[in-house]
Amino acid sequence: MNKPSILTAEEEKECRPNPDQFERYLPWACKQLQVEMKVVVTKIVQHEYVSVSALSERSRNKAKNKSKAIQSKIDVASEENKQDTVKLSLATQNLVNIFAVYDNSDNLVQIKFEKNRQIPRVIFKTIALIIKYQLYLTSVVINKGLDHFGVYELCKLLSVAHITEVCLDDTALKNANYHILLENSTVLRQLSLSRCSIDDHIIETIAATLVHPLPASKTLSILNLSSNRISDLGAKYLAEALRSNRHLCYLNLADNMISDDGAEIILNCLKEFPLVSDELMASKARLMKFLKDKNDLIGRMVKDLRSSEFEKRPVKRKTLRPASTATGKRKGVDQSSSIKSMPESKSLANLDAVLMEKAVVMAENMIGEFNDPFSRINTFVTDGIVQCYGNNMLAYLNLAYNNLTFITVKKLLDVLLLQKSYGRNPKGIINVSIEGNNMPVACKELWDIDEILEMGLMSNNAKLSMTKKRTVPKTVPRL
């Protein structure tokens, strides 16, 4: 009988891959943890840019050369293909397919879970253990196979990784706890939740995480909610977040159930609107907290500067005076010593003023100025009512394929004209999509909208070209 081969410690060490070898270490670790499903990681290397015309020409040549051979094999292997597909479907049910995308420098930049039936949460736990070796990993793509436990583990993974993009398209969850991805402080910039069966109740929890000053309101820039079940009530929740959110610049609500009423609520946040008492009180509370933190920091700075300043001063030694000093001369000596001590006290007062000024400058450089959506810079008073200038950070808005009419076209034109008259930086909406709605094909309002958007895009591109010219170095350093 053949006895099972037992590996020695050295042989087992040689078979064990290193944690920085993602495509090899993850399947090995899951096997050691006795994961029921087999984990298959396929390595993909991103190649340099190839033009579309070259790719199409190359594909045409391949199609011409292989069309005859493929056509002759189809009839012969039709029955074999049916049997292979049945076997493949049974085998893939117990597989977890993962694609590890590397750049040209052999750095892992993206992890893609491709059409899995189920993704065990232990896989995310294992990735979290080795994520410190993948400094260039910035993107995670999952379509199907994720449950609410996996979302929780993914949330923990985001807190320890450099992941800035998460795409969960076609991943509809029963509990729909997408909002936990935005609750903690992370570096997440892009979140895509297209075709996830998100309704108004789910979008309420997501929008609540985007309100200032919560963590996601300061980091998330792109939110894709296309092809879901969001109605006017969900649009209201998003509009409440946009009143204070000044970081989200891309919002995709295409292919939902939003009517003119929902679109109007969103567009009203992009122009001036009155503040309610809760918003004013919250803004004042944030200002008081900012001033308190700033004063505490200045006090600590002054204490540190004073201690370091006294450490630099040389220690003066005491000199012994002669004992045979006349008593009559002591009065003059005391007066002279008191006179000499006066400039020292003045110098100490001047030193405290200098240290205070230096500490204020250092504190302001560290924490910056008070930045709040409802601060004095962003508000004005008319007839005793505090008005806010509106959200001018949202630059792209997609409302295509909803239930909009010509009423939204007129409302959109009013918002664009108002944002243009403000002359603020950023200017506000520079790209909007409203196709696929019940609107006229051509009218004066649509022409005016196109003209305003085209002018905004031209000015934006001009600014980008100017910044690129300034940032490009004269000499390219060697890598």
Under the banding of pLDDT at 50, 70 and 90, the label for residue 2 is: very low
Tell me which residue range forms the domain holding 353. 275-310+341-389
Query: Residue 291: its pLDDT value, please?
Result: 92
Q: Distance between CA 235 and CA 408 in Å, rounded?
A: 14
Report yes or no: 235 and 258 within 8 Å, Cβ to Cβ: yes
Contacts of residue 415, Cβ cutoff 8 Å, sequence gap at least 6: 267, 270, 271, 428, 429
Is pLDDT of 146 > 90?
A: yes
Q: Distance between CA 22 and CA 20 in Å, rounded?
A: 6
Is pLDDT of 49 > 50?
A: no
Query: Residue 162: its pLDDT value, please?
Result: 93
Is pLDDT of 478 > 50?
A: no
Angle between helices 121-130 and 22-32 (to 10 degrees): 130
Is pLDDT of 120 > 50?
A: yes
Is pLDDT of 57 > 60?
A: no
Under the banding of pLDDT at 50, 70 and 90, the label for residue 354 is: confident
Higher pLDDT, 83 or 367: 367
Higher pLDDT, 350 or 103: 103
Residue at 35 is within a domain: no
Query: Residue 268: its pLDDT value, please?
Result: 95
Segment 246-294, tens digit of pLDDT: 999 999 999 999 999 999 999 999 999 999 999 999 999 999 999 999 9
Q: What are the Cα distances from residue 270, in Å, to 135, 316, 392, 430?
A: 38, 67, 6, 12
Q: Distance between CA 206 and CA 187 in Å, rounded?
A: 17
Higher pLDDT, 469 or 121: 121
Is pLDDT of 36 > 70?
A: yes
Is pLDDT of 331 > 80?
A: no
Is pLDDT of 35 > 70?
A: yes
Segment 186-217, tens digit of pLDDT: 999 999 999 999 999 999 999 999 999 999 99
Higher pLDDT, 427 or 412: 412
**Averaging pLDDT over each range in 71-75, 90-94, 358-362, which range is the top one?**
358-362
Of 403-412, 444-453, 457-466, give the lowest mean pLDDT range: 457-466
Is pLDDT of 337 > 60?
A: no
Mean pLDDT calculated for residue range 150-178: 94
DSSP 5: P
Is pLDDT of 437 > 60?
A: yes
Report the number of distinct structural domains present in the chain.
1
Residue at 185 is within a domain: no
Report yes or no: 213 and 286 within 8 Å, Cβ to Cβ: yes
Is pLDDT of 370 > 70?
A: yes
Q: Distance between CA 96 and CA 117 in Å, rounded?
A: 8
User: In percent, how much of the chain has pLDDT > 70?
Assistant: 75
Length of the chain measured in residues: 479
Query: Residue 458: its pLDDT value, please?
Result: 74
Burial 183-197 (b: 16+ CB within 10 A, else e): eeebebebbbbbbbe
Residue at 77 is within a domain: no
Under the banding of pLDDT at 50, 70 and 90, the label for residue 226 is: very high
Residue at 286 is within a domain: yes
DSSP 88: H
**Averaging pLDDT over each range in 30-34, 209-213, 456-460, which range is the top one?**
209-213
pLDDT averaged over the chain?
A: 82
Under the banding of pLDDT at 50, 70 and 90, the label for residue 7 is: very low
Higher pLDDT, 13 or 461: 461
The 273-274 sheet, strands edge to edge:
273-274, 385-388, 379-382
Higher pLDDT, 48 or 449: 449
| pTM of the model as a whole | 0.79
Query: Residue 210: its pLDDT value, please?
Result: 97
Is pLDDT of 68 > 60?
A: no
Mean pLDDT calculated for residue range 137-162: 94
Mean pLDDT calculated for residue range 301-321: 68
- Tell me the one-letter amino acid at 479: L
Query: Residue 73: its pLDDT value, please?
Result: 40
Q: Distance between CA 454 and CA 420 in Å, rounded?
A: 12
Query: Residue 231: its pLDDT value, please?
Result: 97
Residue at 283 is within a domain: yes
- Would you list the DSSP string of 439-452? --SS-HHHHHHHHH
Query: Residue 357: its pLDDT value, please?
Result: 86
Residue at 299 is within a domain: yes
Residue 385: what are its φ and ψ, rounded to 5°?
-110, 130
Residue at 304 is within a domain: yes
Higher pLDDT, 151 or 5: 151
Q: What are the Cα distances from residue 123, in Å, to 21, 45, 180, 475?
A: 15, 22, 19, 45
Report yes or no: 156 and 183 within 8 Å, Cβ to Cβ: no
The 190-192 sheet, strands edge to edge:
38-45, 95-102, 108-114, 139-143, 165-167, 190-192, 222-224, 250-252, 396-398, 431-433
Is pLDDT of 46 > 90?
A: no
Segment 79-102, tens digit of pLDDT: 444 444 434 444 456 899 999 999
Query: How many CA atoms are closer than 13 Å to the CA of 84, on its beta-carbon side?
Result: 5
User: Closest Cα to residue 96, out of 111, 109, 115, 110?
Assistant: 115
Residue at 368 is within a domain: yes
Alpha helix (H) residue ranges in 243-389: 260-268, 277-312, 330-367
Higher pLDDT, 366 or 72: 366
Q: What angle do CA 66, 67, 69 make, to 5 degrees?
A: 65
User: Closest Cα to residue 117, out of 98, 143, 144?
Assistant: 144
Q: Distance between CA 119 and CA 117 in Å, rounded?
A: 7
User: Closest Cα to residue 404, out of 284, 309, 267?
Assistant: 267
Report yes or no: 319 and 337 within 8 Å, Cβ to Cβ: no
Q: What angle do CA 49, 55, 56 make, to 5 degrees?
A: 150
Q: Distance between CA 53 and CA 355 in Å, rounded?
A: 66
